[in-house]
Amino acid sequence: MPAATTTRLTIKQDALRVLSKRDEALAVLPIPLRTTAAGSTTTLTDTKLGRGTTQANRYDGRAVEIISMLSSTTIVSSSVANPSVITATAHGLTVSGQIVIISGHVGSTPDINGEHVITYVGADTFTIPVSVTVGGTGGTVTEKADHVGVDDAGFNGTSIVTFSPAVIVAPPTANPYLIYPQGLAGEMLEELIDEVLRDTTGPYIHFPTLVPDGDLSEALVGNVGNWWNNISNALTTKEYVLTSTNQWNTQQIFGARSLHAKESGTSTGIKSDPFYVGDTEAFVASFFVQALAGTLTVLVYDETNSATIGTAVTIDEPGWKEVRFTEAVPAACESVSVRFSATATTGEYYVSAPLIFQVTTRTRPYDMPSWFVSESQIRQALFLPLGVSSEDAGSYVALSAALKPVVAPRPTFLNEARGVNPFKIVLQATADGPMALLVERPFDVLSVNASTTTADREYMRSKVIATVLRDWGDSAYKTWAQRASERAQAMGYNLREMRVEPNQVVSV
């Protein structure tokens, strides 16, 4: 899959550049539009709207999306209170009544992720109308775009459009916005994009592992401390990183994110949450690391007896390397952790998903992620053989050997419908390499305009356009559907037929 650079806003704009050509009033307008002067809570100003017309009814009934200019902000905490106080440093919100979307927040009771109307408190705090009994941390807060509609005779013929309902914050100069063609609205297009994502599965290599948060996806940016602890003192930097340049596989089939750490003192570092093992079990462990500055030490640690298992591996190369351990769990060891630390205050390193720890001496059940709902999602079992040896002992050049099919029976499954993780896969790894599953993984839906997806941009554009045109009764949908099918085939996607309700003409 390509890198996660396609956003929900990108997909909407790509689709509108084609769909708007079917609306005479919008055909000559650029996408996106930007206001040329400040508006009011019921008007926006843009001189481009007056091109070639003086008709007051030119844009009647068209849906308008006024895009927020605020960036997503990391949440520090939610308080135990009613209403709950949300702390998010320099959040950028300015007035009560603004609507926000909270995502990736963990630990709160009840769950506060979702849409809220805020009450402004200060530059770093606001409240939401929720009674929180257990506070949480992390996640992001993003202002929701305003969705309005052009009033009857709402254009003054030159630059000003009157819309309703009124917005909380008047659109300033250079504020981006979208005007939708008749028969379509922003919320409808967002629902359609999510439906395409839900009904499309892409190839993904999943490594079952005992390491908690082994795929680095249990929490979003800002929540790294919930899964990865400091070995001693706090680090200068400890964060999740989503950029493809800091992942060992930039095509996203393997790692979708990385841990990034900068040391604050000698021999500080990060460690995983402990996980249980059986003493004398043999295991194979594999970690992908990049020592950007200084020397990085990688080890498996016996938490029960406070000792290193086997021999720690040190890396001093900035290129991505795989560190692999084939060891046995010591006697009387009940739990282990994975540890990464630098030997100097200048140390900086990345640890990419997946973090693999598999037992080789007996069959073992492994939790499957929540997106895995059917055995039919598995295409093939694979293994990761050793790559070319690196200059550092115990390390290998990442991706220097190809994945090969496993000559072994298909893994078996346990399915407990009421479990937190209903599906478990039962397998036995070998010393030749950790086992992996080539699976069909659904794409995540997108909560806000800035949300990214690894779904191919050209596929998404073609599929969305085809579905809208089919809904409109436009025979051109067949051409776009064929393009989507060809692109899906090239990307290895599996598609299910979508059921889309007819769009209604929006009028306000």
Please tell me whether residues 272 and 154 are part of one structural domain: no
The CA angle 288-293-297, to the nearest 5 degrees, is 50
CA distance 287 to 322: 6
Residue after which a domain boundary falls, among 372, 401, 433: 433
Q: Show Cβ contacts of residue 61 under 8 Å, excluding neighbours closer than 6 positions.
A: 149, 150, 152, 182, 505, 506, 507, 508
What SS3 class is residue 423? Answer: strand
Residues 289 and 407 in one domain: yes
Which residue segment(s) compose the domain that 47 sits in? 24-67+146-180
Q: Would you say residue 476 lies in a domain? A: no
DSSP codes, 226-268:
GTEEESSSPPSEEEEE--GGGSS-TTSSS-S-EEEEE-SSTT-
pLDDT of residue 503: 41
- Tell me how many degrees the CA angle 121-127-128 measures, rounded to the nearest 5: 150
Question: Do 125 and 48 sit in the same domain of this protein?
Answer: no
pLDDT mean by block of 10 residues, the chain; 508 residues: 70 97 93 97 96 85 96 92 96 96 89 95 97 90 96 94 97 97 95 94 90 74 64 72 62 67 74 91 92 90 95 89 93 94 80 91 85 85 84 81 66 75 83 84 90 91 96 95 94 68 38
- Considering the domain architecture, whether residues 54 and 98 belong to the same structural domain is answered as no
Of the chain, the end-to-end C-alpha distance in Å amounts to 41
If asked whether residues 269 and 418 sit together in one domain, one would say yes
Is residue 419 a part of any domain in this protein?
yes
d(CA 257, CA 120): 33
- Co-location of 150 and 247 in the same domain: no
Residues 233 and 368 grouped into a single domain: yes
- DSSP code at position 169: S
Residue ending a domain, among 128, 143, 158, is 143
C-alpha span between 385 and 389 (Å, rounded)? 12
Residue 452 in domain:
no
Question: What DSSP character marks residue 132?
Answer: B
What's the CATH number where 123 sits? 2.40.30
- Identify whether 152 is part of a domain: yes
332: exposed, middle or buried (Cβ count in 10 Å: 0-12, 13-18, 19+): exposed
- Amino acid 266: pLDDT: 62
Q: Are residues 219 and 151 in the same domain?
A: no
Domain annotation covers residue 322: yes
Cα-flanking dihedrals φ and ψ of residue 319, to 5°? -75, 155
Whether 504 maps to a domain, the answer reads no
Task: Note whether 131 and 98 are same-domain residues.
Answer: yes
319 and 410 in a common domain: yes
pLDDT for the residue numbered 126: 97
Tokens of 100: 């926000």
Residues 139 and 153 in one domain: no
Number of domains observed in the structure of the chain: 3
The structure's pTM equals: 0.82
Q: Indicate the Cα dihedral angle 240, 244, 250, 255, nearest 10°.
A: 10
Which of 116, 143, 170 terminates a domain? The answer is 143
Q: Does a structural domain hold residue 338?
A: yes
Question: Is the residue at 197 inside a domain?
Answer: no
170-198 burial: b if 16+ Cβ within 10 Å, else e: bbeeebbbbbbbbbbbbebbbebbbbbbe
CATH of the domain at 280: 2.60.120.260
Evaluate whether 181 touches 23 at the Cβ level (below 8 Å). yes
44 and 128 share one domain: no
